Amino acid sequence: MRNIEDRPVHKGLRNKLVNLIREKGITDENVLQALMNVPRHYFLDSAFEQQAYEDRAFPIGEDQTISHPYTVAYQSQLLQIKPFDKVLEVGTGSAYQATVLCELQAKVFSIERQKKLFDANKEFHFLKKYHTLRMFYGDGFEGLPTFAPFDKVLITAAAPFVPEKLLAQLKVGGCMVLPLNEGEIQRMHRITKLADGSFEEEKFDEFSFVPMLLGKRR
Ligand code: SAH
């Protein structure tokens, strides 16, 4: 059962969480406001509404997790979203990150490889308020050629290598944010496509994501 009410107690917990994330080093006020706007407890079973406002990842079924709020804020900040940016997200999962991107006024195209998670989001009523969110069942390694090019690409699972097709679907001046490495620990990367067709690569902190896997799962 999902929560469907956002009461003052939830807003209070959310405010505390956002302050914690600010203390951990997130400085983009638009990102912090976006986190404030999304009731994270809607994305978990109602039994876990307290935990929804702790800075932790949480199981959402099918061996997958909703990312730490800090991680969501971190990736969102690196993307430097501008209003109307077209963003490709790989790994819809709970759709929490996708709604944070919508709150930043992005047009979000989010892909999930697990049919059960994709179907659950189709039934998730709260998401209907986000008219700029489109969800797809597919393999993120392929991206969405029909809707390319994108201003930004965000990978929310651990990428074993940089997916070439996603770089190809990026606009010049656009960037891709991804946790890169096959092992338990990944380093956050930002890869920017330059006008001469080359790429600039920046490296940031270490994180631990669930793996980005090839192909779809029924
Ligand atoms: N952004 C999510 C994080 C979910 S965890 C959130 O806010 O909750 C990562 C998700 O990536 C999982 O749901 C997993 O099934 C999905 N995933 C892994 N490999 C993928 C791929 N190749 N294409 C699409 N989704 C993928």
Q: For residue 156, what is the domain's CATH number?
A: 3.40.50.150
Model pLDDT, residue 46: 86
Q: Domain count of the chain? A: 1
Residue 167, domain member (yes or no):
yes
Residue 215, domain member (yes or no):
no
Q: How far is the CA of 195 from the centre of ligand 1 (A)?
A: 30
Model pLDDT, residue 123: 95
Closest CA relative to residue 43, chosen from 58, 56, 31 = 58
In one-letter notation, the amino acid at residue 66 is I
Model pLDDT, residue 130: 98
Q: Residue 38 has which token pair?
A: 């999304």
Q: How far is the CA of 100 from the centre of ligand 1 (A)?
A: 15
Residue 1, domain member (yes or no):
no
Domain of 135, in residue numbers: 8-207
Residue 2, domain member (yes or no):
no
Q: How far apart are alpha carbons 183 and 201 in whole angstroms? A: 20
Residue 161, domain member (yes or no):
yes
Residue 3, domain member (yes or no):
no
Can you tell me which atom of ligand 1 is nearest the CA of 114?
15
Indicate which residues carry an active-site annotation: 67
Model pLDDT, residue 122: 96
Closest CA relative to residue 6, chosen from 36, 27, 31, 26 = 36
Q: How far apart are alpha carbons 183 and 156 in whole angstroms? A: 15
In one-letter notation, the amino acid at residue 156 is T
Model pLDDT, residue 190: 98
* Model confidence, pTM: 0.97
* Segments of the chain with pLDDT less than 50: none
Q: Whose CA is nearest to atom 11 of ligand 1?
A: 91
**pLDDT single digits (tens) 14-42:** 999 999 999 999 999 999 999 999 999 99
Residue 125, domain member (yes or no):
yes
Q: Whose CA is nearest to atom 26 of ligand 1?
A: 91
Long-range residue pairs from 106-109, CB within 8 A, at least 24 positions apart, any chain: 106/81, 106/132, 106/152, 107/132, 108/132, 108/133, 108/134, 109/134, 109/136, 109/144, 109/147, 109/150
Q: How far is the CA of 47 from the centre of ligand 1 (A)?
A: 23
Helix (H) or strand (E) holding 201: strand 199-207
Closest CA relative to residue 65, chosen from 34, 89, 97, 87 = 97
Q: Is there an atom of ligand 1 within 6 Å of 58 CB?
A: no
Residue 82, domain member (yes or no):
yes
Backbone dihedral region of 91: left (phi > 0), alpha (psi from -120 to 50 degrees) or beta? Answer: left
Model pLDDT, residue 172: 97
